[in-house]
Amino acid sequence: MSGGELLPKVTLVTPAYNQAEYLAETIESVLAQDYPNMEYIVLDDGSTDDTPAVLERYAQRVHCERHTNMGQARTLNRGWSMAKGSLVGYISSDDRLHPHAVRCLVEALQQRPDAVVAYGDFDIIDAYGRKVRSVCTEEFDLDRLQVDLICQPGAGVLFRRELLGEVGGWQKKLRQVPDLEFWIRAAKSGPFVRVPQTLAAYRVHEGSASFSKISAERSNEVVDVMQTHWAGVRSAKADRSLARAHLLAARSHAQSGRALETVRHWWASVKLDTAVALSPGGLRAMSTGLLRRLWYGLRKSSP
């Protein structure tokens, strides 16, 4: 990026709810960016922990506001509505950005004027910030997103603000897969570009959805989203997609200890596309859910 080039303004939003122990680390990672033209908005979604005290420390460097709890999607949409940047994104209140993340994403979008979203690779870290493994994301492919339900954008994403006017923000009712649903809609507006560099760190801990016990309604959410997406469509792709959605729901129910719902969704997957349900990936999804439930139970029962 040349020095004489006009740098587009970037707005990042963090919706914060009861993640005080990680929030300062998230904020510091944004403030450490080597990209100069940035706006950072942190919205406290009615936290009941020490989040207000953490934000008070950054009041002079970050735009912070607090409101009554209204959920992640509404909070994120509110932050995006306040954004002044032509490029916008978000970072969860327990994740981190690498110092070059924003610059690399901006450069990718400048080099691809047709692209509407830029994303990169990321690390998975534990509750203590220790690296667990690296995730090399896939090049964007619409079928992988809407059929195989592989959400290529992960931690560390920027998109053009006009996208919000074209497809809207996150759906307010969604709690489990609002990002997947948003990226499926976003893909209607243009291509996504992948930056083949590690740009962020996604934190997995006991409070994250990857390990915690979640409600039956949230477990079923991915099925509801994909049924809406494929409404009125009869095709092998639609069946494969819905089979995959039921499989993910089965894994979530297994993780949360609901055996009957686990079997029900797995059988629905079998009926839609047996190859998906019985594939190594499908069986791995089931076993992962059961193992996570076992791990979570052991953690809770240990002294």
CATH code for the domain of 19: 3.90.550.10
Measured N-to-C along each axis, helices 259-272 and 216-229 cross at an angle, to the nearest 10 degrees, of: 20
Is 166 found in the same domain as 51? yes
Question: How many domains does the chain fold into?
Answer: 2
Please tell me the predicted confidence (pLDDT) of residue 4. 39
Residue 191: closest CA among 142, 153, 230, 226: 142
Does 3 map to a domain? no
Please tell me the predicted confidence (pLDDT) of residue 293. 53
Is 129 found in the same domain as 161? yes
CB 226 within 8 A of CB 246: no
Domain boundary among 154, 175, 203: 203
Is 199 found in the same domain as 220? no
Does 109 map to a domain? yes
Domain boundary among 203, 233, 251: 203
Angle at 65 between CA 163 and CA 25, to 5 degrees: 85
Report the amino acid identity of residue 96.
R
Report the amino acid identity of residue 255.
Q
Give me the domain span that covers residue 277.
216-297
Q: Residue 17, exposed/middle/buried by CB under 10 A (0-12, 13-18, 19+)?
A: buried
Q: Strand 87-90 and strand 117-125: pairing?
A: unpaired
Q: Which residues pair with 38 in a beta bridge?
A: 10
What φ, ψ does residue 230 adopt, rounded to 5°?
-100, 15
Does 283 map to a domain? yes
Is 247 found in the same domain as 159? no
Please tell me the predicted confidence (pLDDT) of residue 263. 86
In whole angstroms, give the CA distance from residue 190 to residue 6.
24
Q: Strand 87-90 and strand 63-67: pairing?
A: unpaired
In whole angstroms, give the CA distance from residue 282 to residue 274.
10
Residue 200: closest CA among 105, 283, 85: 105
Query: pLDDT per position in the chain (303 positions), as tens?
Result: 444 358 999 999 999 999 999 999 999 999 999 999 999 999 999 999 999 999 999 999 999 999 999 999 999 999 999 999 999 999 999 999 999 999 999 999 999 999 999 999 999 999 999 999 999 999 999 999 999 999 999 999 999 999 999 999 999 999 999 999 999 999 999 999 999 999 999 999 765 555 567 899 999 999 999 999 999 999 999 999 999 999 999 988 988 888 889 889 999 999 999 999 888 766 766 666 555 555 555 455 555
In whole angstroms, give the CA distance from residue 39 to residue 9.
7
Is 140 found in the same domain as 16? yes
pTM: 0.88
Q: Among all chains, which residue has been given the structure tokens 């499926």?
A: 184
Is 177 found in the same domain as 66? yes
Residue 107 — left, alpha, or beta (φ > 0 → left; ψ -120 to 50 → alpha)? alpha
